[in-house]
């Protein structure tokens, strides 16, 4: 297999990553740094908000005190992170906690040094807490344990328009009158796992550019330098096609191990086969806010990309980031991936023969494709997957030459925003935007392929 063919396989393995985001509506944070924990409402014994002047039973008052104490604990923890105050940070940890936990927390704090944080805060949901926790401690048990649901919200300064939230499997312990964080792994078997950020895997180096940042570790600096050198040009290249109505700010993550890569993109990917993935946590289509948009590279494979292939991969993934707020889950994959490849290969100097060798071979053996690739083709493996990408890209290349680049962008915005719909609806959009039908597009595309590869 050629180098370009291997590149296509790496990229193809990651096609769905940008579509995994949910549709949770989020609110914009304030412009000032946020370093607080949000309190939960006081509740009566039945879980309802307690009237302010009502007589409070001792158990209810104890619950209020617990909520207030842990909220304050998390506020102090967040403030310590933002202010780089190690003694204050360590004071939030249980003095009798597992020494390994304490050591990893101290290492995480040190690893955050240099990471530009605009926001770091915690939120607890006291109405969703776990019970029967006493069995988690053997020797020297605390006076009380509490496991409410906890989320960390963070945002990179200069990149993120809105903070993104991740679950934290925190277990809190009371010793005397004081509450502490005592573990972030004890609840794993209860379904409360702690999200791990890059700072949990090693010291973070940040290379800032005019329009973004590259976050890496000590072992992948060569790749970090290459990506940082391409990032601003890639963002400009995407904006030339897509327009400037997106943040035009991108965070690129360079994990150093497979475990870190899976923490960034999820365990569903065959991470040894991918070069890069575009991910997002949540999307509010009404306000065009995308939370947690990141381009994540796999150093084990990306480091072997040539300069031109790295440029294509980066622009491809940034296209997904730019278009994410206009893209609804279920939109046709031939449109999403074909358009991202179109932007990626645009002005790259890579010829169609180099970029689409599998399609060229099929053209010689059996003629041009008789249909656009299906979503199932993009979930396949081997040459079928390669051909799906190459047919999608050449379709967009043909449409841009036949109808103009502006029409291709308009087609993307129209089709990507309708999600999973019958072919008849897709055909209707094709007629509205291009004033033609699917059959005519496939016929003209086939002629384009014969001329291009002939």
Q: What pLDDT sits at residue 286? A: 85
pLDDT, average across residues 170-191? 96
Quick one: pLDDT band at residue 380, thresholds 50, 70, 90?
A: confident
CA distances from 87 to 29, 92, 286 (A): 28, 9, 43
Q: What does residue 427 show for φ and ψ, rounded to 5 degrees?
A: -60, -35
Quick one: pLDDT band at residue 273, thresholds 50, 70, 90?
A: low
pLDDT, average across residues 108-122? 97
pLDDT, average across residues 425-454? 93
Worst-scoring range by mean pLDDT, 42-51, 162-171, 352-361, 365-374?
42-51
- State both tokens at 431: 């007629």
pLDDT tens readout for residues 13-41 = 333 333 322 222 222 233 334 444 555 44
Question: Is 444 exposed, middle or buried, given 0-12, 13-18 or 19+ CB atoms closer than 10 A?
Answer: middle
Worst-scoring range by mean pLDDT, 20-29, 123-132, 286-295, 378-387?
20-29
What's the chain's average pLDDT?
Answer: 86
d(CA 14, CA 419): 19
pLDDT for residue 44 is more than 70: no
Instruction: DSSP for 251-301, please give it.
Output: EEE--SSHHHHHHHH-TTS-GGG-SEEEE-SEEETTTTEEES-EEEE-HHH
Complete edge-to-edge strand list for the sheet that includes strand 294-297: 205-208, 212-216, 250-253, 294-297, 276-279
pLDDT, average across residues 352-365? 94
pLDDT for residue 49 is more than 50: no
Q: What pLDDT sits at residue 57? A: 47
pLDDT, average across residues 88-99? 97
Q: What pLDDT sits at residue 421? A: 79
Q: What pLDDT sits at residue 48? A: 45
Q: What pLDDT sits at residue 303? A: 87
pLDDT tens readout for residues 211-244 = 999 999 999 999 999 999 999 999 999 999 999 9
Stronger pLDDT, 3 or 140, i.e. the higher one:
140
Q: What pLDDT sits at residue 37? A: 56
Q: What pLDDT sits at residue 137? A: 76
Q: What pLDDT sits at residue 1? A: 25
pLDDT for residue 190 is more than 60: yes
Q: What pLDDT sits at residue 83? A: 96
Q: What pLDDT sits at residue 136? A: 81
CA distances from 338 to 229, 409, 447 (A): 25, 12, 18
Q: What pLDDT sits at residue 138? A: 67
CA angle 439, 443, 449 (to 5 degrees): 140
Q: What pLDDT sits at residue 55? A: 39
């Amino acid at each position: 297999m050629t180098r370009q063919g291997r590149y296509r396989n790496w990229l193809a393995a990651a096609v769905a990553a940008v579509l995994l985001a949910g549709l949770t509506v989020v609110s914009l944070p304030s412009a000032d740094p946020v370093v607080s924990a949000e309190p939960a409402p006081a509740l009566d014994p039945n879980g309802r908000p307690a009237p302010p002047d009502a007589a409070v039973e001792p158990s209810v008052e104890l619950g209020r005190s617990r909520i207030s104490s842990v909220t304050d604990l998390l506020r102090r923890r967040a403030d310590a992170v933002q202010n780089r105050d190690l003694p204050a940070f360590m004071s939030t940890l249980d003095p009798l906690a597992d020494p390994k936990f304490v050591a990893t927390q101290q290492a995480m704090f040190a690893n955050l040094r240099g990471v530009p944080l605009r926001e770091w805060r915690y939120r607890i949901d006291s109405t969703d807490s776990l019970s029967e926790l006493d069995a988690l401690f053997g020797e020297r048990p605390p006076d009380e344990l509490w496991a409410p649901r906890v989320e960390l919200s963070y945002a990179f300064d200069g990149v993120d328009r809105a903070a993104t939230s991740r679950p934290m499997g925190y277990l809190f312990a009371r010793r005397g009158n004081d509450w502490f964080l005592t573990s972030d792994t004890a609840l794993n078997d209860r379904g409360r796992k702690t999200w791990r950020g890059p700072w949990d895997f090693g010291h973070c180096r940040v290379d800032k550019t005019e329009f973004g940042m590259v976050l890496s570790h000590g072992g992948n600096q060569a790749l970090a330098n290459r990506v940082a050198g391409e990032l601003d040009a890639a963002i400009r290249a995407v904006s030339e096609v897509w327009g400037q109505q997106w943040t035009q700010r991108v965070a690129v993550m360079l994990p150093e191990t497979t475990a870190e890569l899976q923490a960034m993109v999820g365990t569903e990917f065959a991470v040894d086969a991918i070069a890069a993935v575009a991910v997002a946590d949540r999307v509010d289509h009404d306000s065009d806010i995308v939370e947690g948009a990141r381009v994540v590279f796999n150093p084990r494979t990306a480091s072997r990309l040539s300069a031109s292939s790295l440029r294509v991969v980066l622009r491809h993934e940034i296209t997904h980031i730019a278009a994410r707020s206009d893209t609804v889950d279920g939109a046709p994959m031939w449109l999403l991936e074909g358009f991202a490849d179109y932007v990626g290969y645009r002005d790259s100097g890579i010829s169609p023969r180099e970029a689409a060798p599998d399609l060229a071979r099929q053209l010689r053996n059996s003629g041009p494709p008789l249909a656009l690739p299906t979503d199932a083709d993009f979930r396949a493996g081997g040459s079928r997957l390669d051909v799906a990408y190459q047919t999608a890209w050449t379709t967009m290349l043909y449409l841009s030459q036949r109808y103009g680049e502006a029409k291709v962008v308009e087609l993307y915005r129209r089709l990507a925003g309708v999600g999973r719909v019958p072919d008849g609806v897709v055909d209707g959009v094709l007629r509205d935007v291009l004033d033609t039908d699917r059959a005519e597009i496939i016929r003209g595309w086939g002629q384009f392929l014969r001329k291009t590869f002939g």
